[in-house]
A and B are shown apart, each in its own frame.
Chain A
Amino acid sequence: MGRLEGSHILHGHKGRVWNVAWHPEGHLLASCGEDKTIRIWGRDGQKWVCKTCLSDGHSRTIRAVSWSACGKFLASASFDGTTSVWTYTKGDYDCIMSLEGHENEVKSSAWSHSGQYFATCGRDKTVWVWEVAEDNEYECAAVLFNHAQDVKKVAWQPGRDILASCSYDDSIKMFREDGTEWVQCANLTSHTSTVWSIAFNGSGDRMASSSDDLTVKIWQEYPPGNAQGIETPDNIPAWKCVCTLSGYHSRTVYDISWCPLSGRIATACGDDKIRVFQESPESDHDAPTFELEGTADGHTQDVNAVAWNPKEVGLLASASDDGTVRLWCAK
């Protein structure tokens, strides 16, 4: 079907798998789920096998995993209200920190590309920015109350310490550091239902969002003094929705991943399918068009997450309610 071929099915999790994340070197894949475990998968010859299963970090569902840009740290965000930071030492992963503070379910976490900051968000409607100190101490730098509802995901803009978050309140918000405070610098509101996920492109000047309103939107950054004459109040870059992909998804679009190598966008949908979009060759920069390149059937229940491998072009991982992690090749 299309140009997306299933290559591996990874069994091991019991119950739904919530999230997958590639190590920045691309050789390891972390997954997590309602069985409260994190599994780390790697190649063994032609096969992908579970190298490690971390099962003692959380007392409830693990909703998301993320790697630091340096690859040394893995974070797991859990419904138990904590976020654990793991590091690989002497052949094993050790939990070096358990970040507390969220009142209840933590939904997502992400390290800034500089490694200086770490962000978490959750059901308590807040986004937390943590400053990573030298001795692996995490200091709370800000608690942002800007969202009116459950915050689903946090993501850092590549190349800059700008944080984006999306929420059950249908909005996407961005934050920057202003002196010693973190302040909101963008509020993107054109989705009409929960925004489940956001993903930046490789250079960070575009962002894709996926929503319960069955659409995917492409946002573009317009820096101060941009040639298009888009206004940038207070010399803060403006973000505009330049494309809406509608009519493709028949259920909620739970996750989105933008491949930094190929520019492809993959979506994870409640209709059990994965879709891959690519910008049209003749696309206008300020009003781009994207084409559906392929659709993948295979999962038998909701697809919760998709992630492009950062080193191997076309290698995609997905996680589903059907209990499996799958690997796909976009040809």
Chain B
Amino acid sequence: MTTPGFSGVLKLADLDDFITPSQECIIPVKVDRKVKAGADRSKSMEIDEGRSSKLQKVEITLSDCLACSGCVTTAETVLVSQQSGPEVLRVLTENFELPEIRRKLVLVSISNTAVLSLAAKYSVGALEAAQRISGYFKTLGADLVCDLSVAEDLVLFECQKEFVGKKQAGQVPVLVSACPGWVCYAEKTHGSWLLPYLSSVKSPQQLAGSLLKKPGKPMYHITLMSCYDRKLEASRPDFANDDQKDVDCVLTAVELQQMFENESKTLLDYDPIELDPIPFSNSTGAVEQLSTPRGSGSGGFAESVFVYASQQLFGITPDTLNYIPGRNPDLQELNLEKDGEVVLRFAVANGFRNIQNLVQKMKRKKCLYDYVEVMACPGGCLNGGAQCRPDQASQSRELLAHLDQRYKTELPTRPNVESNPNVLSLAKGMSKDDLHMQFHAVEMTPNALNIKW
């Protein structure tokens, strides 16, 4: 939690050092240069550097960046301007100034991990924090503020079915793809051989987008997340229909703190307002607000899928789950034994070093796992790169332990998704495209000019 910006894994995937001004971005930039013959008709020609006519400002879109194997610096800059606190304020103010009938519906989806971070920052309970966050967004003109529970459950439900199918077809390991930092690294660095192993189920953020956004209804969808990389995820061209993006703007816990501070306020200055129920879902099977699935603070993928697959594939309902510690605290394994034999091998692998070891083992065909919950940040999503910073940098471990503890004890745990009729009926109404995503390998384009010894 020390450096702002994209997670380390992403920075590594996109590195381009020795950036000199002319090499900052390797996307070919078209600049129209006027060539003027000198007055004396000599052979020397001058290049008009914009003194007599203004050159057009060169704009690099995020899609250009994502499709490029070069630096991520540009992407980061673009994202900061496109998805930021000031941008939200601008859009909402503009929206508010429109006649009511023409206003966009403003939806806010808030993640539990970001709520917990702000709750810890301002020393309040998680539910109170969520309600005050809701109060803040309502003062800005938001129409609905919801948690992500329905989207999370839909994701888990789909992940469970996906894994059982792939396991039966022998297509393992299945690697969780809910972490955009990891996905971007996989696409840019390992490309086509690795991508088929990624779970194709969308992340809760993006699924919330497809759930909430309906054609023909102009909406502006904001999410509050724990991680900067989510901005990158929301910008993927795949997540847009007819110019409507599933998620228009990702804000993060630390940015919300900054927005309060810009107004010389704190979270406590905003009155709590109850979270709204998720629209378009029916009330039967509604779950407790801010509830979490079982398992890790990163969405509980490994645990939920493990329990489901144990039942479906082997008829075993594991009563207690014994996580086996790996080489470091960011690696844990979960095995299912039947008749003294391990029949399912699951793992939770967080942080870049464990991603490395996982990928290299797969390359050498020494990976024994069936399913791996992969997150780019050490400690998973509770330790997301855009969570509020601890008061002292040295306290980051303590803060993570604190958030982890609160995630497990303060937030209610939901029953398994497959027993929730609301999820089942919602899932039925959704198409494969609503629930799944595609990955795109990015070809590396080595640039000889950039090589230095």
Q: Give me the interface of A with B, judged by CB distance under 8 Å.
A: 63, 79, 100-101, 103-105, 123-126, 131, 139-143, 145, 149-150, 168, 180-181
Contacts and interface: CB of A to CB of B under 8 A. Distances in A.
B357 interface: yes
B452 interface: yes
Overall SS of chain A's interface: loop
Interface in B1-30: 8, 11-13, 15, 17-18
Contacts of B452: 123, 150
A30 B74 CA distance: 42
A292 B360 CA distance: 48
Contacts of B363: 100
B352 interface: yes
Interface residues of B, number: 21
The 8 closest A-B pairs by CB, nearest first: A180-B328, A140-B356, A140-B353, A124-B15, A143-B352, A101-B356, A140-B357, A150-B17
B356 A125 contact: no
Most chain A CB inside 10 Å of its own CB: which residue of B17, B328, B357: B17
B215 interface: no
B413 interface: no
Given A101-B360, A103-B12, A168-B17, 12 more contacts: A105-B451, A123-B15, A124-B12, A140-B354, A140-B360, A141-B328, A142-B353, A143-B8, A143-B353, A149-B18, A150-B17, A180-B329
Contacts of A79: 451
Contacts of A149: 17-18
5 contacts: A100-B360, A101-B360, A125-B17, A145-B12, A168-B17
B353 A145 contact: no
A79 B353 CA distance: 21
Contacts of A142: 353
A290 to B, nearest CB: 28
Contacts of A143: 8, 12, 352-353, 356
B327 interface: yes
A123 B327 contact: no
A125 B452 CA distance: 13
A145 B11 contact: yes
Contacts of B15: 103-104, 123-125
B84 interface: no
A181 B329 CA distance: 10
Most chain B CB inside 10 Å of its own CB: which residue of A125, A131, A143: A143
B258 interface: no
Contacts of B13: 103
A100 B363 CA distance: 10
A143 B377 CA distance: 12
Contact of B189 (A103, A125, A126, A141): A103
B72 to A, nearest CB: 12
Nearest to A125: B17
A326 B360 CA distance: 38
Given A103-B12, A142-B353, A180 B360 contact: no
Nearest to A180: B328
A105 B11 CA distance: 16
Contacts of A125: 15, 17
Interface string B340-376: 0000000000001110110010010000000000000
A104 B71 CA distance: 13
A168 B356 CA distance: 25
Contacts of A63: 453
Contacts of B451: 79, 105
A124 B8 contact: no
A139 B327 contact: yes
B17 A126 contact: no
A267 to B, nearest CB: 18
A79 B13 CA distance: 17
Contacts of B360: 100-101, 140
A125 B352 CA distance: 15
